[in-house]
Structure 1
């Protein structure tokens, strides 16, 4: 049977409590706090907490309550449709200003309606662009709180904008006791993926390609790889192709073009029935949780698909334009997002909407965390100025209903704000763009990158420690969806975005990449060998760095975008995961899986505190020490890009089970083979080779950490453009 739902209000908690305990007696106390306490103690496994946003379409016992905010509208209408394909509404109901308006909220109950009902809002009001008002009484408007959409953005053949229709949703779902995974962020290994692209290719061989259900079919692969979290590129609603199959002017395959924040994208549902995406999305989350995998959503609270003055009126513009967007001189759209407009995130009404949205995804969809796209926009006030201690950022961190939730910022925006290392408090993690650039630069052989690599490897204390933030605030990455794939990073010097139709003018020109002699694919063995080593070098560095690693889907199998570093509009095999690569590059998949497993089992490389260079637990060995190839302490002023890091096992306080082992990482980014001498502090113990990126598979990695021991003289050769990892075969004494 479906779970019973408990909503966030005390009145609903009382009703749920009455259903469990029987009706309250006439003289029985009705204190809501004691009701909540008693409810929490009920041994009722099918009782499920849910969150009810105050606006949108809410099912009641007798119909549906429709509520929408608009301060400046003079009239509001509800348009009801019978079918998704209907161009015109079957019924239009006017809100009565006297009885259906409460402050700035228009609220109307329509009896007899059920889940699945299709609707739009329509608002009349002033057309005064110079004062920020853009009401259009003919526009059909998407409910900002709509929980599902159906249909497409239809072509304006008669001048009328027809966006997808909103769907009244019944949120009942049998979660079967599912809860958030609640893994500590320091133990996370994040896998960024696109729901459609993950299984859309025929090579995926799934029954439901390109869908939420398709992801479920590939969970065994995710488990075998060992990742702990999937970070899904945007799944809230965004525009898709119209019924004639023609693309929108700037089709957004990635999904960074939001249309309805509360609704899972209909384009990723296998079933085409209105609202089917709601249940399918929940099925995916429940299945991932059952496999121990968390779900993090990439959310885009920085702009919408309505664009600037030339863009269509689909929702926010037609309800309260001057509230939802940051405007310049009261009329022009500020473009801090680079996408035409900017959401007014620190306006109280918009701030409230974002909070309701986050809580909705956490408690109604069991989402484990969020990555905030262009999060620096949340640090801008209503005039667009960056402000210290922005209330939106602080409130997200402190919201008790999000306390179990991971929050990750892309701590920059398209207007020059760059806040890596200074975004929010200890609750906020960040995509560490400095990590990406420094690791790429070191392995490419850029001068002056030895010290920066060491800093990134040790957890980026220069960015986070001063604010009392732990290493887990650094989400380490070498690649993301935005830019080259790992394969292309070592195969192309320049971007090749010709297929995007923008004359290769789009995308970043600063990629810190190399092709090692030939642009693109090659059959030259020497070039292929160095590329293979560099892929392994960067993945091994990523997965042995302090902080939280993030891998982009397909990098573990050398997925290529053919040199395209901005495939935002490529719903083609350029973007799709080619599953033949998993078999073709099985040795690399094995390499990554073994590194992930090592990271999970080795607290030495995923500390919760920063390395200090001081001895641990009275041992003579510092928690980290740095050496040159000679085995002597490292001269940081040397021009040579070669060094070794000795990382000692953590203290028993941080590692009560005593699983930690001392680890030595040897890096050689020069073009020559180099002899590395084990430092004196490592000569009294036994070591086994774990990784050698210069060796041919399967000797590039020893999953059981049982590789060859170093020779008696403790001198080993580290190949050019390669790294080695040795692990002490006994716990520290």
Structure 2
């Protein structure tokens, strides 16, 4: 655009008096006419691109796009050389534009251009110069190798370099974005690769679940047993070497960081970084193309399905971390990739000043889930991943944003109501991250039955206990026993609490005991990103050290944290690599570190310093699987259920006496928890009462040893040591017995788990 034209447009804007301008940049999109292709009326459902053979035997693809306020829609088809042809969709049914195009076969790439008003002040941002990704695309082609890896000016609906920044997003850019963005791909729904008849879902009960959070690429990128060409892919995760580790560890489910097609933020690309975690979705039906070893023109769909089948065959469920709260289009200054150009007002929450976005996510925009078409998009996506891709559940990122009605979080919101009555979705595992960044967004303990929740109060209490920072032990008592203060309502069970000490977001477990402060300099944001509330303790030295005493203390703290997690009532969640001492060198926000900092280091398994941690973790998980008293399906009552006064749960002081109310409020570093296996709710598969061993767990966070008197009858006559975190090697711990009533010296910062013998 010439300088004179810029000045004329600005003058016109000022003349209106209301800050509006109709200026555009780029002129006509193409000098030569674009070929058109014949199109039949087709059907308005299902949405997306569906290959089929018509009654007349003609093969082709039906295209259907909801674009409520649009004035016209063009389907754009691309051949192998990237040449574009167009098919205007003239049929409009219930705000859905549709048409059947003969001869369009699976593997064909496509996109949309949507026509309408350009009036950002009212939220209208239609711009047919921008090629848009189909929200229902089953696959996204990554032939350019960038998966939205470049964000040049052409992919923005507005002119990025407009001289007057206060109106930059109001000036339309008419340059064609098609050469710079990946395309949707027509996918065949059936065919020889569809082998779901051989898939057997594990269907692990919630109470028996142990979740393992992992990144598809990061888990296998450095795995020596995975062929190099498969590392970092769905096929790599399906490889026997990767599955073997999960089986040996004993987890029942993997929770995959986002695998929906996602884009990279411009501010990262400018610094030479990429979005590694994937919390920047742009395609809710498409497996992320960069994780495919077999191709990106539909092959990624079959590869993902084969990965699910391989995990299911090993008895492992697949849970997806999904990001339906926002998209990669950011705010008014973000790119135009899909929904923003299809119907900005129909998909996003806008402020009263409709030029601006309501942002409850901290990512620039928030999907308007109250709108029927948005709710349909989300639920159609969820059902697709369950019924056609084989997944077993979902963890919803910033779930409180999805539960907002008009503005406030509402547990009777349309989203939660639809999930509760859906015959497919109400049967799968549903995990909420029960907060967002908006007012009133913190909702831990408030989600309705059917839902489980990430319990950050568990995380905080366990971290504080082991760094000896809790004022008393009340909080710890609740968290160890299932968080009844949060979840004992509405028929919810202890497994409503997903217990975790670490997650992808924050320090790794090893870094939690090695750093007092975050070290995020590699992110290029001046160490300003990432939380400062880490509740960590570096054991006396910041970062890596060769001091053998500090190293030994850190390994002991890791054993304490893992043992606490796996003995607690609720559903434990581990993070990939924590079981072998993975470090990010103090980076607590490695979302942009697609490199060795963010990948699992498998050499740690062969390191004699870290191998014992893996062995302890797998032994604790096996112990949990063997003993139903450690994975109860109902909350403890604390009441005596037999004549001898034995209760299902009891708490003891180091004196061997049951805790009084005053003990709960007093500063303390030691807590004894007795779990009775005599009276466990429920029946076994034969209808008989469930009986198990009873256990006494002694958690001592103090620096100095403490003498703990083992409770006598009716609790036990003697006790057998099962786990002693004071030992580097656990092999010699089991089998040691102590008589009830005697004092056992518990070393500083140690967990003892003892089996009660009658």
Query: Whole-Å Cα distance in 2 between the matches of residues 712 and 614 of structure 1?
Result: 22
Q: For the structure 1 residues 155 and 271, does the alpha-carbon distance in structure 2 shift closer, same or farther, using more than 3 Å as the test?
A: same
* 1:381 is aligned to 2:420: no
Alignment of 1:155-554 (within 5 A): 155-156=151-152, 159-161=175-177, 162-172=180-190, 173-201=194-222, 203=224, 205-207=226-228, 208-217=230-239, 218-239=242-263, 251-329=274-352, 330-382=354-406, 384-554=407-577
Q: For the structure 1 residues 581 and 388, does the alpha-carbon distance in structure 2 shift closer, same or farther, using more than 3 Å as the test?
A: same
Partner SS for 1:191: strand
Alpha-carbon contact 2:646-2:714 (below 8 Å) kept: no
* 1:717 is aligned to 2:739: no
Counterpart selection for 1:60 from 52, 55, 58: 52
Alpha-carbon contact 1:368-1:404 (below 8 Å) kept: no
Alpha-carbon contact 2:260-2:287 (below 8 Å) kept: yes
Kindly provide the CA deviation profile for residues 642-669 of structure 1, in whole angstroms up to 9, marking residues without a partner as x. Answer: 1211110153652536451101000111
1:20 aligned residue = none
Query: Whole-Å Cα distance in 2 between the matches of residues 544 and 468 of structure 1?
Result: 23
Structure 1 residue 685: deviation in Å?
2.9
Deviates more, 1:213-222 or 1:159-168: 159-168
Structure 1 residue 528: deviation in Å?
1.1
Alpha-carbon contact 2:265-2:328 (below 8 Å) kept: no
Alpha-carbon contact 2:234-2:307 (below 8 Å) kept: yes
Q: For the structure 1 residues 593 and 468, does the alpha-carbon distance in structure 2 shift closer, same or farther, using more than 3 Å as the test?
A: same
* 1:637 is aligned to 2:665: yes
Structure 2: runs of 5 or more not aligned = 1-43, 54-58, 155-174
Structure 1 residue 309: deviation in Å?
0.8
Kindly provide the CA deviation profile for residues 377-429 of structure 1, in whole angstroms up to 9, marking residues without a partner as x. Answer: 012124x3333421211221321112320000000012244444443321000
* 1:118 is aligned to 2:114: no
Alpha-carbon contact 2:401-2:441 (below 8 Å) kept: no
Query: Whole-Å Cα distance in 2 between the matches of residues 715 and 683 of structure 1?
Result: 15
Partner SS for 1:400: coil
Partner SS for 2:342: helix
Counterpart selection for 1:107 from 81, 98, 106: 98
Q: For the structure 1 residues 424 and 636, does the alpha-carbon distance in structure 2 shift closer, same or farther, using more than 3 Å as the test?
A: closer
* 1:136 is aligned to 2:157: no
Structure 1 residue 271: deviation in Å?
1.7
* 1:82 is aligned to 2:79: yes
Q: TM-score, normalised by structure 1?
A: 0.88
Q: For the structure 1 residues 418 and 631, does the alpha-carbon distance in structure 2 shift closer, same or farther, using more than 3 Å as the test?
A: farther
Q: For the structure 1 residues 103 and 241, does the alpha-carbon distance in structure 2 shift closer, same or farther, using more than 3 Å as the test?
A: closer
Structure 1 residue 72: deviation in Å?
1.2
Query: Whole-Å Cα distance in 2 between the matches of residues 174 and 240 of structure 1?
Result: 33
Alpha-carbon contact 1:627-1:645 (below 8 Å) kept: yes
2:161 aligned residue = none
Alpha-carbon contact 1:197-1:575 (below 8 Å) kept: yes
Alpha-carbon contact 1:421-1:464 (below 8 Å) kept: no
2:725 aligned residue = 693
1:647 aligned residue = 675
Q: For the structure 1 residues 418 and 678, does the alpha-carbon distance in structure 2 shift closer, same or farther, using more than 3 Å as the test?
A: farther
Figure out how many residues of one structure are paired with residues of the other and give that number. 666
1:603 aligned residue = 628
Deviates more, 1:559-568 or 1:626-635: 626-635
2:68 aligned residue = 71
Q: For the structure 1 residues 499 and 653, does the alpha-carbon distance in structure 2 shift closer, same or farther, using more than 3 Å as the test?
A: closer
Alpha-carbon contact 1:630-1:676 (below 8 Å) kept: yes
Query: Whole-Å Cα distance in 2 between the matches of residues 638 and 308 of structure 1?
Result: 50
Structure 1 residue 273: deviation in Å?
4.1
Q: For the structure 1 residues 402 and 617, does the alpha-carbon distance in structure 2 shift closer, same or farther, using more than 3 Å as the test?
A: farther
Query: Whole-Å Cα distance in 2 between the matches of residues 680 and 129 of structure 1?
Result: 75
Q: For the structure 1 residues 620 and 713, does the alpha-carbon distance in structure 2 shift closer, same or farther, using more than 3 Å as the test?
A: closer
Alpha-carbon contact 2:712-2:740 (below 8 Å) kept: no
Q: For the structure 1 residues 135 and 418, does the alpha-carbon distance in structure 2 shift closer, same or farther, using more than 3 Å as the test?
A: closer
Deviates more, 1:680-689 or 1:345-354: 680-689
Q: For the structure 1 residues 53 and 363, does the alpha-carbon distance in structure 2 shift closer, same or farther, using more than 3 Å as the test?
A: farther
Alpha-carbon contact 1:302-1:343 (below 8 Å) kept: yes
Structure 1 residue 374: deviation in Å?
0.2
Structure 1 residue 728: deviation in Å?
2.6
Alpha-carbon contact 2:45-2:64 (below 8 Å) kept: no
Kindly provide the CA deviation profile for residues 303-350 of structure 1, in whole angstroms up to 9, marking residues without a partner as x. Answer: 000011111111001111011110001221111111111111121110
1:560 aligned residue = 583
2:163 aligned residue = none
Structure 1 residue 700: deviation in Å?
7.3
Q: For the structure 1 residues 204 and 659, does the alpha-carbon distance in structure 2 shift closer, same or farther, using more than 3 Å as the test?
A: farther
1:614 aligned residue = 639
Alpha-carbon contact 1:694-1:700 (below 8 Å) kept: no
Q: For the structure 1 residues 155 and 672, does the alpha-carbon distance in structure 2 shift closer, same or farther, using more than 3 Å as the test?
A: closer
Alpha-carbon contact 1:497-1:565 (below 8 Å) kept: yes
Query: Whole-Å Cα distance in 2 between the matches of residues 393 and 641 of structure 1?
Result: 41
Query: Whole-Å Cα distance in 2 between the matches of residues 711 and 525 of structure 1?
Result: 35
Q: For the structure 1 residues 305 and 128, does the alpha-carbon distance in structure 2 shift closer, same or farther, using more than 3 Å as the test?
A: same
Deviates more, 1:595-604 or 1:461-470: 461-470
Kindly provide the CA deviation profile for residues 88-138 of structure 1, in whole angstroms up to 9, marking residues without a partner as x. Answer: 41x111112xxx111200010001111111000110101111111100010
Query: Whole-Å Cα distance in 2 between the matches of residues 306 and 413 of structure 1?
Result: 18
Counterpart selection for 1:95 from 89, 95, 98: 89
Q: For the structure 1 residues 536 and 612, does the alpha-carbon distance in structure 2 shift closer, same or farther, using more than 3 Å as the test?
A: same
Q: For the structure 1 residues 672 and 314, does the alpha-carbon distance in structure 2 shift closer, same or farther, using more than 3 Å as the test?
A: same
Structure 1 residue 466: deviation in Å?
3.0
Kindly provide the CA deviation profile for residues 61-100 of structure 1, in whole angstroms up to 9, marking residues without a partner as x. Answer: 12100000011111110110112x62x41x111112xxx1
Query: Whole-Å Cα distance in 2 between the matches of residues 624 and 286 of structure 1?
Result: 40
Query: Whole-Å Cα distance in 1 between the matches of residues 693 and 316 of structure 2?
Result: 26
Q: For the structure 1 residues 202 and 613, does the alpha-carbon distance in structure 2 shift closer, same or farther, using more than 3 Å as the test?
A: closer
Query: Whole-Å Cα distance in 2 between the matches of residues 248 and 479 of structure 1?
Result: 28
Alpha-carbon contact 1:420-1:463 (below 8 Å) kept: no
Q: For the structure 1 residues 53 and 443, does the alpha-carbon distance in structure 2 shift closer, same or farther, using more than 3 Å as the test?
A: farther
Query: Whole-Å Cα distance in 1 between the matches of residues 552 and 439 of structure 2?
Result: 39
Structure 1: runs of 5 or more not aligned = 1-51
Partner SS for 1:355: helix
Alpha-carbon contact 1:556-1:592 (below 8 Å) kept: yes
Q: For the structure 1 residues 386 and 246, does the alpha-carbon distance in structure 2 shift closer, same or farther, using more than 3 Å as the test?
A: closer
Alpha-carbon contact 2:472-2:668 (below 8 Å) kept: no
Alpha-carbon contact 1:409-1:423 (below 8 Å) kept: no
Alpha-carbon contact 1:489-1:513 (below 8 Å) kept: yes
Alpha-carbon contact 1:179-1:366 (below 8 Å) kept: no
Q: For the structure 1 residues 451 and 241, does the alpha-carbon distance in structure 2 shift closer, same or farther, using more than 3 Å as the test?
A: closer
RMSD: 2.0
Alpha-carbon contact 1:441-1:449 (below 8 Å) kept: no
Query: Whole-Å Cα distance in 2 between the matches of residues 665 and 601 of structure 1?
Result: 17
Alpha-carbon contact 2:212-2:251 (below 8 Å) kept: yes
Q: For the structure 1 residues 148 and 470, does the alpha-carbon distance in structure 2 shift closer, same or farther, using more than 3 Å as the test?
A: same
Partner SS for 2:673: strand
Structure 1 residue 525: deviation in Å?
1.6
